Amino acid sequence: MSSTAEYVLVTGGAGYIGSHAVVELLEAGHNVVVVDNLVNASMESIGRVEEITGKKVPSYQIDLLDKEAVKKIFQQYKITVVMHFAGLKAVGESVQLPLLYYHTNVGGTVNLLEVMKEFGVKNIIFSSSATVYGAPQYLPVDEKHPVGSCTNAYGKTKFFIEEIIRDVCNADKEWNAVLLRYFNPVGAHKSGKIGENPQGVPNNLMPFVAQVAVGRREHLTVFGSDYDTPDGTGVRDYIHIVDLAQGHVIAMNKLKEGCGCVAYNLGTGVGYSVLDMVKAFQKATGKEIPYKLAPRREGDIATVYADPKTAEVDLGWKTTRGLEEMCEDLWRWQSNNPNGYAPASS
């Protein structure tokens, strides 16, 4: 390993979004080093990334709250850009355990930024979320939409981290940051080797649907059937994980322009209801998905979808993969890996 080679540090790189971003970075010719505390991930995903790309990925089990361990990575590798995915992300859990979320997500990010500053690394792409917008005041949601009236602690950690990064960029004009606000990532890599691997009961719709299809769960529970939407179920903007991952690689070009701190929505601009998604999955896979209707969940909103035009104009990025591909790729991953990254016997 040459000490002069430049690396992209990917925090949370063994997770669902991080692992797909690592594939896209490697295929675009970048060197990558991964850190992940493996609370909601498995290093098996990095092994699979190496299979897909044919490239080695140095990876370390490190928690961002362990500042000395983070420093060692910066001492060992010449890091030029940080892609920051690491963080806890279950909305319901964040309502129950707000201090854990603030300590982990905000505290870990402050440590990371302090180490970056110490080593003169002033380029960051942050994995933010459409939750920073709270309940939408208008649709589609664009980047000018007010932020901060978040409905849960998870969303607030994303909002607070955005603000911290913005303050850092304001204080030192050499810093550049791209804040990417995701809508609902779904699907998996075409190879079927990597995908979403929730620990315990999935918090998101499509992994749950896939687990029903593969026989791990008896039925889907649909929370809320009385929303003011075409079929009464919640409407969201679902984006293929590979489109999302490619958005991060493209965002690196923005950093090179000396962009300061900028935010972009990554979504398709189309909203689909829960039942739309169930029907699309059934059609793509030929699998029946039994479901039961249940009351709304606290903190959920009726409808949200993106206006993704700014990312298209500024970054030259837009989604190319539709609903059918999202469902087919998700099913290829889940049917090849019924237990996720765990061995079949477990």
In this prediction, residue 90 carries a pLDDT of 87
Question: Are 37 and 45 in contact, with CB atoms under 8 Å apart?
Answer: no
| Residue 314 vs residues 4, 119, 144, 184, 195: alpha-carbon distances, Å | 31, 29, 15, 21, 29
Please report which helix (H) or strand (E) contains residue 67, including its range.
helix 67-76
| pLDDT tens-digit map of 214-241 | 999 999 999 999 999 999 999 999 999 9
Under the banding of pLDDT at 50, 70 and 90, the label for residue 344 is low
Which residue, among 247, 265, 322, 182, has the nearest Cα to 28 in the 3D structure?
247
Catalytic residue status for 227: no
Rounded to an integer, what distance in angstroms lies between the CA atom of residue 311 and that of residue 247? 9
Q: By three-state DSSP, how is residue 81 classified? A: strand
Q: Where are the beta strands (DSSP E) in the chain?
A: 6-11, 31-36, 59-61, 78-84, 123-129, 176-182, 184-186, 220-223, 235-236, 238-240, 261-266, 272-273, 291-294
**Of these residues, 154, 227, 238, 272, which one is catalytic?**
154
User: How confident is the model over 15-39, as a mean pLDDT?
Assistant: 98
Could you tell me which of 344, 346, 341, 343 has the C-alpha nearest to residue 14? 341
> Hunting for tokens 């995701």 — which residue is that?
182
pLDDT digits (tens, 9 = 90+) for 85-141: 999 998 889 999 999 999 999 999 999 999 999 999 999 999 999 999 999 999 999
Q: How high is the pLDDT of residue 297?
A: 83
- Percentage of the chain beyond pLDDT 90 is 92
Q: Under a CB-based contact definition with an 8 Å cutoff, are residues 17 and 85 in contact?
A: yes
Query: How high is the pLDDT of residue 3?
Result: 61
pLDDT tier at 345 (50, 70, 90 boundaries)? Answer: low
Please give the average per-residue pLDDT across 321-338, as a whole number.
97
Q: Report d(CA 246, CA 229) in Å as an integer.
A: 31
> For the segment 239-290, what is each residue's pLDDT rounded down to a tens digit?
999 999 999 999 999 999 999 999 999 999 999 999 999 999 999 999 999 9
Is residue 346 scored above 50 in pLDDT?
Answer: no
Q: Which pLDDT score is estimated for 92?
A: 83
Amino acid 185: pLDDT: 97
Q: How far apart are alpha carbons 217 and 212 in whole angstroms?
A: 5
Mind listing the pLDDT tens digit for each residue in 34-80? 999 999 999 999 999 999 999 999 999 999 999 999 999 999 999 99
Nearest to 298 by CA among 224, 205, 202: 224
Residues 153-172 as b or e (16 or more Cβ within 10 Å = b):
bbbbbbbbbbeebbebbeee
* CA dist list (Å): 96 to 260, 268, 283: 35, 31, 37
Q: Are 36 and 9 in contact (CB under 8 A)?
A: no
How much is the pTM?
0.96
Q: How many residues are recorded in the chain?
A: 346
Q: For the residues 148-155, what does the mean pLDDT come to?
A: 93
